[in-house]
Copies of this chain bind each other. A is one copy, B any other.
Amino acid sequence: MFLDALLECEFEGPIYLVNPRGGEIKGLKVYQRLEDIPHSIDYVISTVPAKASLELVEACAGKGVKAIHFCTAGFSETGEEEGARLEAHLVEMSRRKGIRIIGPNCLGIYCPEARLHFAREFPKESGWVGFISQSGGNARTLVSQARWRGARFSKAISYGNGCDLNESDFLDYLTADPKTKIIALYIEGVKNGRRFRDVLEKAAKEKVVILLKGGATEEGARAASGHTGALAGTDVVWNSLCKQLGIIRVDSMAELADVIITLSFMPLPRGRRVALVGAGGGNSVLIADEFVKRGLEVPHLPQEIINELREFTPAAGNILRNPIDYSQTMMEIEKMVRAAGIISGWKGVDFLIGFLNLVWPQPSFARQMDKLVAMILEKSTASSKPMALVLEPGILPEQAKQLFDLTQKCVDLGLAVYYSHASAAKAISLVLSHNEKHPVKGIK
């Protein structure tokens, strides 16, 4: 996995492989011992068994290694005494040898600028999101999935048990990193509460920080201790910490992605009043509920705007209130764009959400959809009203394909795309609430 990722991203430095069996893998010589490598080494990625880890540190010390990323598991996270003891020895020995450790029990570092990847599907381009994740799986999921909605990362760090370098070290680093504008955290527990609070406070003053806390419940905390040996702390403490310091706290990986996309691609609306424009009658009723439940406002279109729309929009099958269900006239692009212009020009509204259920579109519909979206976006931009899109996915593979293709076109236009109304509403509401106390600047 690591070798594939490094070859795929065209890592520029030399790569040495080590395995007692020797031979060759993908055209690269495999050294039987680390000591056999005829050069000094900067960085080691280790998948040796836990019991061989001390020996590896010893060998690395002789080669000038500065840091080892131990993917290797089987330490304190096992909950067994032996693993904990081994981890303590590992820390003690590496400190003595002047080697820093990332992990153990993690996927390590993704830094596209340095062409250091840990999954072959990661994007090569850098972005402004820095992600610190105690879980490798969560790091991989976020990077590899949010990329299709336009997110790019400065760094993503999976640090597992964090026996040496821990969450506070990485957070400190990203706070100072000029390439990072948004810091996302997936944390199960912290090593040193006092220090973490200090670096978190500093981070939140300089950048937007989003936190997903794993182990929010007692049972989740127990799972966290089994996963990375972390002490999770009580949920109430985390909540007040976030409130105090101005951290956006999210409840799931999906929400984490949604908030990153909102911050990255949706210019901040001036207020909470949304115009919901799209296709689907029953849908539009439920959408209004979803947005209002999450603290946004869906103001009634005033009669003069309705009259203006009615001049060229048939009443049957369209609903000219708010949400505006334009189902019957949607593909008459000229009318739709004109309607969007009128709605986004209305001073009673702060931003626009387009909605479309991709469960049963016509092929011709999907073909023209990106043109339509681009023209509406132009109108909303002209009125300085931010706009985003909710595309509801279907289960069928061809529906998923259509969703994916349309998403890519919208991402090319610089639009935030969400996959449910609830998630759009929650993410936008979180960002607006955050901004009321801690004005967000300079992302989009």
Contact = CB atoms under 8 A, between A and B. Distances in A.
Given A80-B315, A222-B321, A281-B227, A217 B360 contact: no
A404 interface: yes
A223 interface: yes
Nearest to A402: B397
A253 interface: yes
Given A394-B145, A400-B397, A283 B316 contact: no
A50 to B, nearest CB: 6
A298 to B, nearest CB: 4
Given A217-B293, A282-B134, A227 B395 contact: no
Contacts of A228: 281
A226 interface: yes
Contact of A223 (B133, B226, B288, B357): B288
A223 B319 contact: yes
A290 interface: yes
A75 to B, nearest CB: 8
Nearest to A296: B219
Interface stretch (A135-143, A331-339, A428-436): A135-143
Interface string A223-250: 1101110000000000000000000000
Contact of A227 (B138, B186, B319): B319
A115 B404 CA distance: 34
A226 B3 CA distance: 59
Q: What class of interface size applies to chain A in its complex with B?
A: 35 or more
A252 interface: yes
Contact of A252 (B139, B223, B401, B422): B422
A285 interface: yes
A283 B186 CA distance: 11
A280 interface: yes
A78 B396 CA distance: 34
A83 interface: yes
Interface in A190-228: 212, 214-220, 222-224, 226-228
Contacts of A282: 133-139, 186, 188, 214, 227
A297 to B, nearest CB: 8
21 contacts: A73-B328, A78-B315, A105-B317, A121-B360, A137-B280, A148-B395, A148-B396, A149-B395, A214-B286, A215-B289, A217-B293, A219-B288, A219-B297, A219-B298, A219-B322, A220-B292, A222-B300, A223-B287, A226-B321, A227-B282, A227-B285
Given A77-B319, A141-B357, A223-B284, 18 more contacts: A49-B316, A74-B317, A78-B316, A133-B282, A137-B357, A145-B359, A188-B282, A188-B285, A214-B285, A215-B288, A219-B292, A219-B300, A222-B321, A222-B322, A223-B287, A396-B404, A397-B397, A400-B400
